[in-house]
Amino acid sequence: MEAINSFFIEDGHLDSTKNFNDEKNSKDKIIYEVIRINNGEPLFLEIHLKRMEKSFNLMDKSFPYEYNKIAEYLERVISANHKKEGNVKITFNIDEDLMKVFYIKHIYPTDEMYKNGVDTILYHGERHNPNAKVIDCKFREKVNEEIKKKNAFEAILVDNNGYVTEGSKSNIFLIKDNKLFTSKIEAVLPGVTREKIIEIAKSENIDFEEKNSKYTELEEIDAMFISGTSPGILPISKVDSIIMNVDNEIMRKLMDLYNNKNV
């Protein structure tokens, strides 16, 4: 069962998680968002909902909810479960016209991971519609198998043209010669944390560019990091056998600035 804690919302009604029907193996199309709850408040809620609405549009569907109604559902789930920290998932089953709001298990990186970075692997594969946040169980299972087999934290996806795109559940940033790079928006899920990092970089006059980078060029990169709802900004120590600098000055500056904005 994917839902944790005591209560979830289905179609506006609060119910016990004992009655939760897990849809992760469903063949239906399911749009979703994962929102981090910090001190009882959903982080970047409006941005998440705008992205969810865009996912609907990419699936040729109209968005059926007002933002304030979803915010109300979130408040009810947070209050009912008495949980002020964690991750809440919002799913919408397009075929059944059904929305669910529920807490899920989360893994936040340890202090050691933020200090020393994490190991990653390259995975040659791409999501069918990268701009839409839609559950793709078969693809996720294949990637997770490789992550587990190679004892990695995350897999970095490489598309059919040999370009680094994103992580299996994150966005990826690269730093070379004091310049920050990330893949063009057309090739990736437009992550909320990704957007915030770009805003910070521009406000701090950090040289930045959206650019598609070949995986064969990674040995020339100084540093890389993961961005996402749970990890925030997390240094990468290694990509396959390629060692990265986890103490890169620009990366550490971005980490400090991002964390200060979200305490």
The ranges assigned to domains in the chain are 3-104, 111-261
Structure confidence at residue 25 (pLDDT): 57
Within 10 angstroms of residue 8's Cβ, the number of other Cβ atoms is 27
Within 10 angstroms of residue 233's Cβ, the number of other Cβ atoms is 23
Specify which residues 26 forms β-bridges with: none
Question: Which residue stretches of the chain have pLDDT < 50?
Answer: 263
User: Tens digit of pLDDT for each residue in 40-56?
Assistant: 999 999 999 999 999 99
Computed on alpha carbons and rounded to an integer, the radius of gyration of the chain in Å comes to 18
Query: Which phi-psi region, left, alpha or beta, contains residue 12 (left: φ > 0; alpha: ψ -120 to 50)?
Result: left
**pTM of the model as a whole:** 0.82
User: Tens digit of pLDDT for each residue in 157-173?
Assistant: 999 999 999 999 999 99
Structure confidence at residue 23 (pLDDT): 67
Structure confidence at residue 147 (pLDDT): 95
Structure confidence at residue 113 (pLDDT): 97
Record: fold of 111-261: D-amino Acid Aminotransferase; Chain A, domain 2 (3.20.10)
Structure confidence at residue 26 (pLDDT): 60
**What is the DSSP secondary structure assignment for residue 186, as one 8-state letter?**
G
What is the dotted CATH code of the domain comprising 3-104?
3.30.470.10
Amino acid at 169: K
Structure confidence at residue 135 (pLDDT): 67
Q: Are 125 and 167 in contact (CB under 8 A)?
A: no
